[in-house]
């Protein structure tokens, strides 16, 4: 080792520990550590299912299209799907697949649906079925201004009207005002028995 290289090495031995122990170098060591690299990879990697212009958009793992794309990729000898593996079937292909799977002709399906709808309409018109049952919706009970039902079942099983602070008294006509829970329930039951 020459004198010049020995002198440079001794100078580096004095400087290097201070450089590597500086806060900037410690931060850089943490920045490029394995956990930091994994977080950066998760945050900044491209999402092929998030590109709106891609045929893969919204068809990630768990979707039927993804399963079909995996089959297409396996057939082509690839381990994962690429954009060309995603085939979007047209509406007629979907209908044809449905008819093939159910072993029915289109005319039979249409005639069957018309018959079911006509039978349901006849049941509604005759009163055997309510419109809510026909349309498949539940009719919500009438609610007061506070989101509670206007009637409720008292302890003895009687259906009573729910009163509030502004309800006029059935005998005096004055507003009820503030009452305790048991007082209000007793009033509601008495009003129901009196016919109000």
pLDDT band at 195 (very low <50, low <70, confident <90, very high): confident
Higher pLDDT, 148 or 27: 148
User: What's the mean per-residue pLDDT of the chain?
Assistant: 76
Question: How confident is the model at residue 25, as a pLDDT?
Answer: 66
Helical residues (DSSP H) of the chain, grouped into ranges? 3-20, 23-31, 34-44, 64-76, 91-102, 106-126, 131-135, 181-193
Question: How confident is the model at residue 7, as a pLDDT?
Answer: 63
Residue 85 DSSP one-character state: G
pLDDT in tens, 89-108: 555 555 566 666 666 666 77
Q: Is a pLDDT exceeding 90 seen at residue 192?
A: yes
């Amino acid at each position: 080792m020459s004198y010049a290289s020995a002198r440079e090495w001794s100078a580096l031995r004095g400087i290097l520990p201070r450089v590597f122990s500086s806060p900037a170098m410690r931060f850089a060591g943490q920045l490029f550590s394995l956990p930091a690299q994994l977080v950066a990879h998760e945050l900044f990697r491209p999402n092929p299912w998030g590109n709106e212009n891609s045929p893969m958009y919204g068809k990630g793992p768990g979707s039927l299209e993804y399963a079909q794309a995996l089959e297409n990729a396996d057939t082509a000898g690839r381990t994962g799907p690429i954009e060309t593996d995603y085939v979007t079937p047209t509406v007629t292909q979907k209908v044809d697949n449905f008819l093939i799977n159910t072993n029915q002709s289109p005319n039979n399906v249409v005639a069957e649906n018309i018959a079911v709808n006509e039978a349901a309409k006849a049941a509604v018109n005759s009163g055997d079925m309510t419109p809510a049952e026909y349309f498949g919706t539940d009719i919500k009970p009438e609610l007061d201004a506070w989101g509670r039902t206007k009637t409720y079942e008292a302890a003895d099983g009687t259906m009573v009207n729910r009163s509030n602070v502004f309800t006029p008294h059935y005998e005096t006509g004055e507003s009820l005002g503030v009452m305790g829970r048991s007082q209000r329930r007793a009033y509601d039951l008495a009003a129901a028995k009196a016919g109000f």
